[in-house]
Amino acid sequence: MSAAAESVSWHERARRLEFRTQAFIDGRYVDAASGATFDCINPATGKLLARVAAGDSEDINRAVTSARAAFRKGSWANLAPAKRKKVLLRFADLIRERGEELALLETLDMGKPIRDSLKIDIPGAARCIQWYAEAIDKVYDQVAPTGPEAPPGVLNVVPGLGQAAGKPLALHMDVDAVAFTGSTATGHAIMQYAGQSNLKRVSLECGGKSPNIVLADYPDLEKAATAAAWAIFFNQGEMCSAGSRLLLQEEIKDAMLEKVQAIGRTLAPGDPLDPATRLGAIVDETQMKRVLGYIDAGRADGASIRLGGRRVREDSGGYFIEPTVFEGVRPAMSIAREEIFGPVLSAITFRTVDEAIEIANDVIYGLAAAVWTRDVTTAHRVARALRAGTVYVNCYDADDITVPFGGFKQSGIGRDKSLHALEKYTELKTTWIDLS
């Protein structure tokens, strides 16, 4: 099938797609208790996709009550590990079986290219569920558990906006833990809600302003530039680990930016349902305006736009922004310090390795970082000095489910992926028994 025919096929599938818009509470699909809904907008067209149940505190309470009842009953918590594994493996299989439908839903909702939803996100989700399923009957503490599919209450889904649904969840006195992925500002609020309620455990994977440091001794600038471009333009820059700060040693600044610029020119935003599209739509109008505001701020602060900087495809009704590259960025500028969450790269020049380290660490974030050098001693020194949860050497965005992921400073608390992720969902308990 040609790319054009495949694109038509995805549009046709989208027209035939039925949206499930209710909440899922206590094993049943239900409307929000209030009957309220919110509009889900296709960011590629600006048009309504569906009206989704808008959960609030009453729906959160129903879901928590259901989950607590299931926990107390023990029908899942006390289930033999091998049986829980079987359920989760089936879950992973179902994700794969419904992969095209799930990919289409993600692209319609988020505006990301269908090729990325189909080839990266959905297989990655299935692989994650499968990996932890396989770990269930292998990860014990000192005593292996023994048991006497998933019952109602074990899984609940409550759609809703932050203040109406997220806040009541974080404040709920019968919730033991909250795991959150999103902005640092919201992470601050969740920490406060935990303190105001029952001191529930909080794990956060928040924002980033990741530095990508290229030293003049690195011999393959083509490889470094390609990685730098994709580190910020992949997924429209809507990545917490995006390499949004490109730190370039003076001697290679122009050569690197020319190569990054050339790659950026090939990434014109396109229809997310076209399999040839590599750069899709910004998630919603509010975020598009936020990104454009940062671009205006960068200009006002004296940085120069080397590439992009505009909204495009306005006739589509969607929210598209060109790949954008700023040069002449100073570390104190807002575009160098604050998370933009869009396809905007800030290039900063440095002279010495120590200066690069200082600039890299001089933000509130510490999620990811990278260094490109041919000198292994320098690589170890810089990697050790960078205050980031993940450091890439001569690469960017390397990833595997077996390796922990998370940040330092205000990029978060705790780790996702790997066996370390289990720590935030478990409690250590000591039992002393006198047998005399």
Q: Hey, which residues are catalytic here?
A: 205, 240
Contact between 50 and 40 (Cβ < 8 Å): yes
How far is residue 266 CA from its own chain's centroid?
25
Phi-psi domain of 71 (left: phi exceeds 0; alpha: psi -120 through 50; beta: other): alpha
The count of other CB atoms within 10 Å of the CB of residue 390 is: 22
Q: How far apart (Å, rounded) are the C-alpha atoms in residues 371 and 357?
A: 10
Eight-state DSSP code of residue 165: I
Tell me which long-range contacts 310-314 makes (C-beta under 8 A, separation of at least 24): 312/268, 312/269, 313/269, 313/270
Q: How far apart (Å, rounded) are the C-alpha atoms in residues 257 and 244?
A: 14
Name residue 324's beta-bridge partners: 344
Helix (H, G, I), strand (E, B) or coil at 216: coil
Q: How far apart (Å, rounded) are the C-alpha atoms in residues 127 and 361?
A: 33
Give the pair of three-digit tokens for residue 326. 């700023």
Give the pair of three-digit tokens for residue 27. 């094993």
Place of tokens 């558990």: 145
Q: How far apart (Å, rounded) are the C-alpha atoms in residues 328 and 40?
A: 39
Cα 410–237–221 angle (5° rounding)? 100
Contact between 104 and 17 (Cβ < 8 Å): yes
Q: How far apart (Å, rounded) are the C-alpha atoms in residues 229 and 208?
A: 17
Supply φ then ψ for residue 2, to 5 degrees: -70, 160
Helix (H, G, I), strand (E, B) or coil at 25: strand
